[in-house]
Amino acid sequence: MQYKSQAVSKLYFVAAIGLFVAQVLFGLIMGLQYVIGDFLFPAIPFNVARMVHTNALIVWLLMGFMGSAYYMIPEESERELFSPKLAIALFWIFLVAAAATVAAYLLVPYASLAKWTGNDLLSTMGREFLEQPLPTKLGIVVVALGFLFNISMTVLKGRKTAISTVLLMGLWGLAIFFLVSFYNPDNIVRDKYYWWWTVHLWVEGVWELILGALLAFVLIKVTGVDREVIEKWLYVIITLTLITGIIGTGHHYFWIGTPEYWQWWGSVFSALEPIPFFAMTVFAFNMVNRRRREHPNRAATLWALGTGVMSFLGAGVWGFLHTLAPVNFYTHGSQITAAHGHMAFYGAYVMVVITMISYAMPLLRGRAANSNKAQVIEMWSFWLMTVSMVFITLFLTAAGILQVWLQRVADAPMSFMATQDQVALFYWLREGTGVIFLIGLLVYIWSFFSKGEDAAKA
């Protein structure tokens, strides 16, 4: 750690991992409800568990992005953070808001929560991923603006690099597209149309800029390859991302009442979206192969390579699988969608945040890398989580193919509920694999507490 103010990122990383655990626990509850329908009913209905699961994911990824930015921007800008105090204050605001929101989901009927929090003044709630009450949404805006101010001031006053420029563009884009979540037209078709501006333009747009910047930063550090080379790659990758991903939004406009020309625009452009993900994979391996030094933190390098591979598989391959309109006609809103959503989020955003934590945390704790023993434990957690996510995806894909066949293709289509019974075996397998994922996560946390003799000096 070169700058004292980088230390604020530790708070963010710890909270991110805590929320990650909550996310996975609620995922396991839902997985069980898929096969034992009345499990925990009516205490925790499925939709409540799902809100906790998805919102915890989003919040912890945002915490991870913020922590990463607070770590990386001082080093890139070669100066202390503009205001470490602001960063700490915003952390507590964000954490308390997130905890209060989750508690409210669990304890208060959603309709009452909506009434008490001013949803009648400006109704934004009850749409997938954007379930947060108005005060929480406003809190997110305040935290995001304060954070962006802090980071932008640091960059403006210091050295400007391509990596920090790209990161800033990604983070500003994240905040700007979140503002669209305050727009909720009465017309459901227009509601859905603009809802995707937040959701799709996040994960297949501006978040990929953040992903690229974080990966580039860690790769420079662990490989020692010239910044010039890495930054050029970064620009090429994000160019490919946005020229495919913006119009690629059209792959969500096939069947929601929007005109049919979207079937062409959406299919063609989104079919090209895997290219930047593939470029990212090649980039990561290429840089590691051309490394000029052997960085003692091998775990971080493993996570960086894993991000390259898994984001390509989850977003690129599993995205392509169902992105062409004639295929999507059958798979839309099925377990295929769920399979893709899981591996894409894990492979791209979960893994890049962990890459960053893996690289930065030892430095924040005063050493270049963890002891060999701790790294071995961490690498075990890498394989446990990554392999179980691959299997979760495969089981959901199998369930999805069967579902599509039985419910949508067969001559005598089955009802939704009857179909679900038919594929229960795969839901059980998914749940079992989910338990292994949780074990992997616990092993990951354990790696932080493992003391070894031979920690490398910072």
- Give the interface with ligand HEM as residue ranges (CB under 6 A): 128, 203-204, 251-252, 270, 273-274, 311, 315-316, 319-320, 322-323, 328, 332-333, 337, 340-341, 344-345, 348
Return the residue nearest Fe ion (CB atom).
200
Q: Please tell me the distance from the alpha carbon of residue 160 to that of residue 198, in angstroms, as a whole number.
A: 28
Among ligand HEM, another protein, ligand HEC, none, residue 425 binds (CB under 5-8 Å by kind) = none
Say whether residue 137 binds another protein (CB under 8 A): no
109 vs 333, beta carbon nearer ligand HEM: 333
The separation between CA 407 and the C-alpha centre of its own chain, rounded to angstroms, equals 31
Q: Write down how long the chain is.
A: 458
Q: Which is nearer to another protein, 36 or 368 (CB)?
A: 36
- What proportions of the chain, in percent to the nearest 5, are helix, strand and coil? 80, 0, 20
Q: Phi and psi for 397 in degrees, rounded to 5?
A: -65, -40
Minimal distance, residue 105 CB to ligand HEC, in Å: 12
Size of the site for another protein (CB under 8 A): 80
CB of 239 vs another protein, minimal distance in Å: 4
Strand partners, 367: 457
36 binds, among Fe ion, another protein, ligand HEC, none (CB under 5 to 8 A by kind): another protein
Q: Does 46 bind ligand HEC (CB under 6 A)?
A: yes
Among 66, 163, 242, 310, contact with another protein (rule: CB under 8 A): 242
203 or 455: CB nearest Fe ion: 203
Choose the binding region for another protein from 71-79, 109-117, 376-384, 439-447 (rule: CB under 8 A): 109-117
296: preceding bond cis by omega (within 30 degrees): no
Tell me if 112 contacts ligand HEC by CB under 6 A: no
Which three-class secondary structure state does DSSP give residue 369?
Answer: strand
Amino acid at 76: E
Q: How far is CA 230 from the centre of its chain?
A: 23
Our CA dihedral for 194, 198, 203, 207, rounded to 10 degrees, sits at 140
Closest Cα to residue 284, out of 347, 345, 344? 347
Residue type, 133: P
Binding to ligand HEC in span 397-456, by CB under 6 A: 417
Tokens of 251: 């792959």
Q: How far is the CB of 413 from another protein (least distance, A)?
A: 5
How far is it, in rounded angstroms, from Cα 389 to Cα 15?
Answer: 22
Determine if 233 is a binding residue for another protein (CB under 8 A).
yes
Interatomic CA distance for residues 340 and 363, integer angstroms: 34
Nearest distance in Å: CB 110, another protein: 5
Applying CB under 8 A, among 4, 36, 96, 294 the residue interacting with another protein is 36
Give me the residues that bind ligand HEC (CB under 6 A), please: 45-47, 417
Give me the residues that bind Fe ion (CB under 5 A), please: 200, 204
